[in-house]
Structure 1
Amino acid sequence: MAESVTPHIALRLAIGEAGSQSALARICAVSQTAVWKWLSRRKHLPAEHVLLVEKATGVSRSLLRPDLYPDNLEVAVPTCRVACDPAPASNAYHFSDNPAGRTAAEAPAAMVDRSPIPSPSAEVRA
């Protein structure tokens, strides 16, 4: 029966491939003490370092962090495409709070619409 590789053993393999705890620490841009703590406390390699360690040492991400990168992950490929209307996206400036992105005709109206204080001209018209 083959023994499965635990994340702790995978971390030890990565240290061996890097050459030392200090070398792995340089790869991860952390102190050697941090790497020692990962080992002595049997902690997982932090997620932000997994891809760097995999690239530098060749130890698979699925061995280092099987909880984040499962080996048997199946990704569903989309079977249909959804068409989108590009017209509303092209008028994105209409959603801006900044009147600078509006057309010349819309900018003054936008300033009046967004003012928290009623303008005197609005009261005169009423």
Structure 2
Amino acid sequence: MDLSLTPSQSLERAVAIAGSQSALARVCGISQAAVWKWLANGKHLPAEHVLRVEKATGVPRSLLRPDIYPEDLHVRPALSSVVCDPGSLSNAYHFSDTPAGRTAAEAPAAAADRSPIPFPCKEVQG
């Protein structure tokens, strides 16, 4: 891919690879008219569509939006991650104003004892 393309030329390349303005619009979940306006007015591809367009067309994000994704941007991998056991997941913040089993006299206390249920996840080094 030619790394000397402007963002407008890169957007035109993405349209050509997608096959049409309509095809690129479907990738972005927008109308063909919106893609036409970007091209006709020389506008940048909106940031919320850059990653989808890159994935669908192979045109690098650093060419589509160099102001957001500079070529020399290096992302370091995470040093740790969170691992969850999906089998034990529940709604960790499920509360009710009138929980089953509480009498009318106990209801005022219900608001005071709303602490979240611990989430079954742990951090692992990787």
Category of TM-score, reference length = shorter chain? 0.5 to 0.7
How many pairs does the alignment contain?
99
State the match for 2:90 in structure 1.
none
Shift of 1:76: 6.3
**CA distance in structure 2 between the aligned counterparts of 1:14 and 1:62, rounded to whole angstroms:** 13
TM-aligned CA distance change 1:72 to 1:33, over 3 Å: same
Q: CA deviation at 1:74?
A: 3.5
Which is richer in helix? 1
Aligned residues of 2:3 and 2:63 also touching (Cα < 8 A): no
* Alpha-carbon distance in structure 1 between the residues aligned to 2:63 and 2:31: 23
Q: Which has the higher contact order (CA 8 A, sep 6+)?
A: 2
State the SS of the aligned residue for 1:66.
coil
Give identity over the alignment, percent. Answer: 63
Cα deviation code 1:82-108 (max 9, x no counterpart): xxxxxxxxxxxxxxxx9x9xxxxxxxx
CA distance in 1, matches of 2:56, 2:77: 30
C-alpha RMSD of the superposition:
3.3
| Counterpart Cα distance in 2 of 1:32 and 1:6 | 22
Task: Give unmatched runs, 5+ long, in structure 2.
Answer: 79-96, 100-126
Residues 29, 75 of structure 1: CA spacing in aligned structure 2 closer, same or farther, 3 A cutoff?
closer
Instruction: Please name the residue that 1:53 is paired with.
Output: 53
Output the amino acid matched with 1:52: R
Moved over 3 A (4+): 74-78
| Counterpart residue number, 1:8 | 8
